[in-house]
Structure 1
């Protein structure tokens, strides 16, 4: 890599990496709240209760029909995103071709899972009936789809310059 690529793209990649890490942590916090709320206030089934007619293991008492899928996939994307950011921090620290492959691979997997969660976010937006926390999580996932892609381009673009 040349000095020019190091000087121009490393600060951009670092900024995007920190931003993405913070947003993934926020998604994990809100998603953890939603999962906890869903478990605490979902269907209560005991030994003398019959299963409700429309029982779904992905039922959430907040939001709409897409909320369960959205929360589950957002949590998966959040965990993989944080792991990807940790791998990215290692690449930023070393900034060489040896650490690039792991960083790009992890970031690409994280981005693809974020795209999947964003698809459920769009479905949830279409169905409406959601609270402010879920709206915040939707917004962060939609923003992350763009910033994660730009981060991948920044670290991959630095390796192609000679």
Structure 2
């Protein structure tokens, strides 16, 4: 089991990650709401535009839909990871480690996928300040979530 010296480090990273995942969820929710309000209107008698995408986001580029979708998934699983992490930090024993480590690993994996789409979105360049903020948070979260996983395992 990880040493007790890693408990404050893990708790700090857990709090930081939780706050950042909540912010990612807020910005992602805004992006989805805006996409729904300003997306394509398809009804009876309307034809699909030539380059129709079911995940069209009017405020970004071609990667925005995938980026926001995976960012929302990573945010939800990240918050669940924080809840399991709180339980593990409270008890800090070997029996609570597997659940905290497994959900943290899933959250990190989804965050890494979202970070990949963030990098693609940065490469394509056309985006607004909120999307840039979410990109930065996901890039930071990819590193801090991995460090959190190492901290709860006592790998330092």
Q: TM-score, normalised by structure 1?
A: 0.94
Please name the residue that 2:93 is paired with.
96
SS in 2 for 1:43: coil
Structure 1 residue 67 and structure 2 residue 37: aligned? no
- Structure 2 residue aligned with 1:10: 7
Question: In the alignment, which of 112, 117, 120 is matched to residue 117 of structure 2?
Answer: 120
User: TM-score under structure 2 normalisation?
Assistant: 0.97
Deviations 1:132-159 (A, max 9, x none): 000000000000000000000000117x
> Post-superposition, which runs of at least 4 consecutive aligned residues in structure 1 deviate over 2 A?
none
Q: How do 1:1-162 residues align onto structure 2 when only pairs under 5 Å count?
A: 1=1, 5-6=3-4, 8-157=5-154
- Deviation (angstroms), 1:48: 2.1
Which protein has the larger Cα radius of gyration, Structure 1 or Structure 2? 1
Instruction: Tell me the distance in 2 between the aligned counterparts of 1:25 and 1:77.
Output: 10
Distance 1:116 1:38 in 2: 21
Q: Which has the higher helix share?
A: 1
Q: In structure 2, what is the Cα distance between the partners aligned to 1:56 and 1:64?
A: 12
Could you list the runs of 5+ residues in structure 1 that have no partner in the other structure? Answer: none
Number of residue pairs aligned between Structure 1 and Structure 2: 156
